[in-house]
Structure 1
Amino acid sequence: MDRWMDKEGYDNDDGEWGMRMDGDEDEDEDTIRMRKQELRRYMMSLRDSLSREEMIRASSIIQEKVLNTDEFNSSSIVGLYSPIGSEVDTSTLARYAIENGKVLAYPRIEDRYTMVFTMVLDPAIDLTIGRYGILEPLPSKVVKPDLVIVPGLVWDEDGYRIGYGKGYYDRYLSMNRDAVRIGLAYDFQVLSSIPHSRMDVRVNMIVTERRSIRVV
């Protein structure tokens, strides 16, 4: 079994982290926030230990699985993210979307609280470094994707995610609930349960190199 599929000291099924990090609806927001931050640090370190070859291979498998979903093939406007660091790549999805006449869109940070998706014709040309050092579109036509591919640091089998703590995706998705939401992750990023609050928005599906989890 590959190193990135089964990290030492990490149990993906009811192990120490899964049990310690189970969400509790009775917990206060401060406790949930602290537990999320602990998981962020842990999972970022774990994810960043992947080699380039491991990331490329896993990303290829994940993207191929997404391409075979009804959700992707029936979509008209696909919202992708620009991967940063060791995130799952999305370039194959972008290329396929363009080749098959879909409208391609990427998130753009408008201000401290607002994220929109704007149309992109060619990611190699139309993306530039924006806020937080992430590639984002130049100002262009704002669109509403019917499929949003969602990044994240930690996931659980109920479709909850922990991102980087800014809340942009949760705010966007809460106001655009008609969009299908697919999260991309390496399998070790998916726990049985994670702390979550009423503001967190679940995805409809999580796709990893090992499995596709349909949740809502």
Structure 2
Amino acid sequence: MRKLKDILNDKDINLPIPEQKKLLRKILLLEREKLFKQSTDVNWGAKQFFRALELLKIPEKQLKEQLATKRLFLACYFPIKFELDIARFAEEYWLFPAVREGKELLWFNYGDGKENYYTNKYGILEKKEEHCFEYNNSMPPMLCFIPGLAASREGYRLGYGGGYYDRFLNMNRNQITAVFCLPSEKFLFDDLPNESTDEKVDLIVW
């Protein structure tokens, strides 16, 4: 586990929290890119995905059965900025997010991975709104792999600043198991700057 003071000095730690987060993002994005380029693991993210299922005690066969019968949703993300590629395991019933300005996250089925996709302004693949739906508490529980840069030992996540996942977790907390996968323990901190709107994840894996 890394100490926050090893990456931010006393002057930085006294900055307003949004400024601390902005500085951390800049540093950690570069560190993750460097780690990715140095890695010999061609399956970037595979270890973390299967470790998460192991810790959650969900056999892969059972997971597929629950997804096919819609007793469980599994949500993921298409990686950008050298994120771990959990999406490499995506199958028909997996869900992916669509971002709409001024709205909460919408979700769409992976399907065959080819139909109705386009690239949004963030460089992420998604589908148009008519192919999406809004998740709510009346639906089956969701196992949600969440993107981001770093986590604290308390479970707080450093994301990219949009707040979409924090709002989504806040609205559906009782239905969602949030999993955050890190490329290494180097991205786990003793503490991270957080605000009242930040939500904890349930499981951190590296």
**Normalising to structure 1: TM-score of the pair?**
0.74
**Which of these residues, 60, 82, 101, is aligned with residue 46 of structure 2?**
60
Structure 1 alignment gaps of length 5 or more: 1-11, 209-216
Alpha-carbon distance in structure 1 between the residues aligned to 2:181 and 2:115 = 24
1:195 maps to 2:182: no
Other-structure match for 2:21: 36
Q: CA deviation at 1:165?
A: 0.8
Residues 1:67 and 1:138: Cα distance change in structure 2 (over 3 Å)? farther
8 A contact 2:4–2:191 mirrored in 1: no
Q: CA deviation at 1:57?
A: 4.2
Structure 2 alignment gaps of length 5 or more: 136-140
- Match of 1:186, as an amino acid? P
1:173 maps to 2:169: yes
Show CA shifts across 1:25-82 (max 9, x none). xx8xx71111111110110010111217446344121122133333683671111111
Other-structure match for 2:57: 70
- 2:192 match: secondary structure: coil
Alpha-carbon distance in structure 2 between the residues aligned to 1:197 and 1:48 = 27
Alpha-carbon distance in structure 1 between the residues aligned to 2:31 and 2:52 = 24
Alpha-carbon distance in structure 2 between the residues aligned to 1:93 and 1:198 = 34
Show CA shifts across 1:152-176 (max 9, x none). 0121111101111111111111111
Residues 1:133 and 1:185: Cα distance change in structure 2 (over 3 Å)? same
Give the number of aligned pairs. 185
- Match of 1:61, as an amino acid? K
Alignment RMSD (CA, Å): 2.7
The 10-residue stretch of structure 1 (83-92 or 126-135) with the greater mean CA deviation from structure 2:
126-135
8 A contact 2:2–2:187 mirrored in 1: no
**Normalising to structure 2: TM-score of the pair?**
0.77
- 1:42 match: secondary structure: helix
Other-structure match for 1:154: 150
Other-structure match for 1:17: 6
Residues 1:143 and 1:104: Cα distance change in structure 2 (over 3 Å)? farther
1:107 maps to 2:97: yes
The 10-residue stretch of structure 1 (149-158 or 46-55) with the greater mean CA deviation from structure 2:
46-55
**Which of these residues, 85, 106, 121, is aligned with residue 116 of structure 1?**
106
Q: CA deviation at 1:143?
A: 5.2
Identity across the alignment (%) = 24
